[in-house]
Structure 1
Amino acid sequence: MVARMRTVEPSHHILVVEDDDEIATMLVELIKDHGLRALPVRSGAEMDKILQRHPFDLVILDAMLPGEDGFSICRRLRSAGTIPILMLTALTEDIDRIIGLELGADDYVTKPFNPRELVARIKALLRRASYGTETSERKPLTKMTFAGWVLDPRSRRIVDPEGAEVLMTTSEFDLLLAFCHNPNQILTREQLLSMTHAGTAGPVERSVDAQISRLRQKIEPNLKEPIFIKTVRLGGYLFAANVEYLP
């Protein structure tokens, strides 16, 4: 199963994985009312069949599904590609949100949810996946390099010093982009949350720590002694790298 993501389309297509017919119908109608397309499926198995035939721009994934649960599905989707994932669940504990984010979800909304907030989050994820973060739009959209790594905000590609492309989720790329635009500066969790969620109400602050952990796994040579993303006690994080813009 390969989760494919399209770049820019006149009308984004969203896959809703929700076993509750009433909620699924409400979500599809809400999404369509805002000029987007949506298709509901009831399980991970149905999702796999659809993704093999059609590309989607975002997946809304219920965590509490019968059979294979949403957390397991999220892990599979993330290992297969970088399609944005918004998890939807009745679970309200912070640890559940953090687990979802650690498994690769880009955002997390709890039921009952405010329809306007949900739509805002959906549009923020689609905007970030297609164009980059609000922060990046205020900066030159030119390639950047640090320690042999090359980051391209326009194509949203990151290449390691050996020339291999490193796949990143929307949130991971946005986080690295925020760091590259603010090297050698202490950024609080609130600042990082704002930069990577484009002004929408984001998940709990500890979710930033989960995103940092995932990003470190992809760029740090030694996770026990990070050389790029430094933790600043009682402050936040600092990106210890010399970043240069490429011509």
Structure 2
Amino acid sequence: MPDAMSHLAKIGPCPQLSGQGSAAHGRVLVVDDNPESRGILLRYLADRQFPAVGTTGNDLARRLERASFSFVVVDVRATHGDGVELLRQIRARSEVPVILVAGQICNDLDRIVCLELGADDVLRAPLNLRELIARMRATLRRQEAGRRAVAAGPRGGYRFDGWVLDQRTRTLKNPAGQTVYVTKTEYALLVALLETPRRPLARAQLMRATRAHEDIHDRTIDAQVLRLRRKIEADPAAPQMIRTGRGRGYMLDASVETLP
């Protein structure tokens, strides 16, 4: 990871944010097959109150099974394995936030695939270490906000076209009463649509609602809408509930009842 090494040599200490000590962060797992670049990133994280341990792609599964982490950073460029496969290994074992560091040839479609498979962020080379830290802190802030919202107590839910979304348990049930699994992003997308029935929401609004980064292509939302349609529409090719507004994003075309 020569770009990260040269960048590290040029920057000084990063100012610490109050209330963001190591106890709050927990441990970070750095996945990188190159011992030199892995060591540089481990030291950089430790200097900024992110205690970290390193591993290789081949040892990733064992590490996840033996310990818990608050974050995983995978340098796809420096691992001999497939980045998508490594991401699948992580998601099969944990919901820990994951940032992938990809090469310069990583395009928008590659990033969308990784995000759909469960990555929380994808950074392109050359890696800016300050941006990596900023992205990690932003992800942890969103995670903490979600925990506080859950701790605040039950929030009811919604009933629409025979479907029920229970926000207390974060479960979606079809008209037959069967639970239908939705990802965190699909859940956030559905809640945003349910809160504004029969009113078009622009892609930018949906991206903010799902907490996607603004620099991600609009096709990210299009892909998520397609996946959600496959789960709740009788015919996803001819959707009746989640409709496309011509040039105006998407809207939920259904009567919605708010549950106490």
TM-score tier (shorter): 0.7 to 0.9
Matches within 5 A, 1:94-105: 94-105=108-119
- The answer for the alignment partner of 1:21 in structure 2 is 35
- Aligned partner of 1:70 in structure 2 is 83
Q: Could you tell me whether the CA contact under 8 Å between 2:100 and 2:123 is conserved in 1?
A: yes
Q: Higher relative CO (CA 8 A, sep ≥ 6), structure 1 or 2?
A: 1
Q: Does 2:138 match 1:124?
A: yes
Question: Cα distance 1:216–1:11, how it changes in 2: closer, same or farther (>3 A)?
Answer: same
Q: Which residue of 2 aligns with 1:5?
A: none
Match of 2:181 in 1: 166
Kindly indicate whether residue 227 of structure 2 is the aligned counterpart of residue 214 of structure 1.
Answer: yes
**TM-score, with structure 2 as normaliser:** 0.71
Using the TM superposition, give the Cα deviation of residue 110 of structure 1 relative to its aligned residue in structure 2, in angstroms: 0.8
Distance change in 2, residues 1:70/1:217 (3 Å): farther
Name the SS for the 1:72 alignment partner.
helix
Name the amino acid aligned to 1:122. M
Closer/same/farther in 2, CA of residues 180 and 117 from structure 1, 3 Å limit: farther
Relative to the length of structure 1, the TM-score reads 0.74
Alignment gaps of 5+ in structure 2: 1-22
Percent pairwise identity? 33
Q: Distance in 1 between matches of 2:190 and 2:51?
A: 30
Partner of 2:250: 237
Spell out, residue by residue over 1:72-93, the C-alpha distance to the aligned partner (whole angstroms, 9 max, x if none).
2223444555443322101332
Which residue of the partner structure matches residue 190 of structure 2? 176
Segments of structure 1 that go 5 or more residues without pairing to the other structure are 1-8
RMSD between superposed Cα atoms in Å: 3.3
Would you say 1:150 and 2:165 are equivalent positions?
Answer: yes
State how far apart, in whole Å, the 1-side matches of 2:234 and 2:51 are: 41
Distance verdict in 2 for CA 1:190–1:41, change over 3 Å: same
**Structure 1 Cα separation of the partners of residues 60 and 78 of structure 2:** 12
Shift of the alpha carbon at 1:190? Answer: 1.9
TM superposition shift of 1:116: 3.5
CA contact (8 A) 1:107 1:203 kept: no
Matched residue of 1:231: which SS? strand
Cα deviation 1:35-89 (Å, max 9, x = unaligned): 434332210x311101112223333223345443111222344455544332210
Q: Does 1:39 align with 2:53?
A: yes
Post-superposition CA distance 1:138-188 (Å, at most 9, x none): xx9713223332242x76x223232536252x4333333333333332222
Deviation of 1:220 (Å): 3.6
1:23–1:202 distance in 2 versus 1, CA, 3 Å? farther
Q: Is the 1:124–1:197 Cα contact (8 Å) retained in structure 2?
A: no
- C-alpha contact 1:102 1:214 (8 A) present in aligned 2: no
Aligned to 1:110: 124
Deviation of the 1:130 alpha carbon = 4.1
Q: Work out the CA distance in 1 between the residues paired with 2:35 and 2:257.
A: 51
Task: Report the residue type matching 2:197 in the other structure.
Answer: P
Establish whether residue 56 from structure 1 lines up as the match of residue 69 from structure 2: yes
Q: Match of 1:21, as an amino acid?
A: P
8 Å Cα contact 2:242/2:253 also seen in 1:
yes
The one-letter amino acid of 1:183's match is: P
